[in-house]
Structures are given as C-alpha cells and as structure tokens.
Amino acid sequence: METRFNMFESEIGGKFAKRFANMNTLLTQSPLPKSTQELVSLRASQINGCGFCTDMHTKDATAAGEDPVRLHLVAAWREATVFTEAERAALALTEEATRIADHHRGVSDETWAQVRKHYDDDEIATLVCLIGLINAANRMNVILRTPAGSYQPGMFDQLVS
C-alpha cells in the first residue's frame, strides 16, 4: 500500500501538520494521564480503521511503558479486567464520540456522568480535544491511505516548535 499524497510536501499540509503537532503537544502536557491519552487514541484509531494511527499509538504507548496486555485488550475493554473505572469512562466517551453518527443521542448522559465522576475540568477538556484531534488525524490518514508499520516513536518531534 502506498500513500496517495504526502501532506508534508505541500506548503499548506506542512504548515497544518506543524500546528496539529503543537496541539497534540499541548494535550500531552495536560494533567490527563499519558496512558489514558494513548488508550483513547488507540481505541478511536481502531474504530476508524486507521492503521497508521493504530501503529503509532501502540508503539508510543509501548515506548512509554504501557503493559502489552492492556494494549491487546483495548478493542475489548468492556470484557477486560485491566482497565480502571476512569479509563473505562474515557474509553466509553471515545467510542460514543467517535461513532457519533451511529447514535441518535450523541454521547449518552450515563457516559457523561461517568466522565464527570472521574475527571476534573482540565482533564475533560483534554479528553474532548484529544478525541476530536485523533478523529481528524484518523480521517486524514484513511483518506490518504497512509500505510501502517513504519512509524517510530518520536519521528514527528521535529514538527513541534
């Protein structure tokens, strides 16, 4: 599989990628645990069928010391015993927000109540922004058919200013 278009070779695409990377850096510096951020990004990427982002977030989480068992069970988190209640709330929010068109109600009141129970305002802001950002990245990579497998942790660090 070959990518259809290299965004980094376009003036607009390159500028956008730099701003996108800076937004991501802002979120990684938030109080929301990095492990939760990677689980959220991985789950949205799985749902959206984005191989590149699934590869990236699996490798980034592994490099950060995440337990491989948890990564293997993200897609089946409801049946797994390895996630905290807070992580379950974040994963439920991720699924409902990513599949927003599949639900007539959007994000359920029940899921929102669990998110409010486990996270403070800054963490919730991070979750909402992260879910929006990863869904945007997934869509761009799926449109462009960006192949998975070549990502190396830190390979986009030079984009951050």
* Residues 42-69 as b or e (16 or more Cβ within 10 Å = b): bbbbbbbebbbbbbbbbbbbeeeebeee
Whole-angstrom distance, CA of residue 126 vs CA of residue 143: 25
> Has residue 60 been placed in a domain?
yes
> 107 lies in a domain?
yes
**Residue 16, φ and ψ in degrees, nearest 5:** -65, -45
Residue type, 145: R
pLDDT tens-digit readout, 129-153: 999 999 999 999 999 999 999 999 8
pTM: 0.94
pLDDT digits (tens, 9 = 90+) for 86-127: 999 999 999 999 998 887 778 999 999 999 999 999 999 999
Percent of the chain with pLDDT over 90: 84
Task: List the CATH number of the domain containing 101.
Answer: 1.20.1290.10
pLDDT of residue 65: 95
| Structural domain includes residue 75 | yes
Q: How confident is the model at residue 155 (pLDDT cuts 50, 70, 90)?
A: confident
pLDDT in the model for residue 25: 92
pLDDT at 103: 72
CA distances from 96 to 18, 35, 74, 109 (A): 28, 20, 15, 11
Which residues constitute the domain of residue 69?
33-151
* Residue 7 confidence (pLDDT): 86
Q: How far is CA 143 from CA 16, 94, 102, in A?
A: 16, 21, 20
Q: How many domains does the chain have?
A: 1
pLDDT tops 90 at residue 156: no
Q: What is the mean pLDDT of the chain?
A: 94
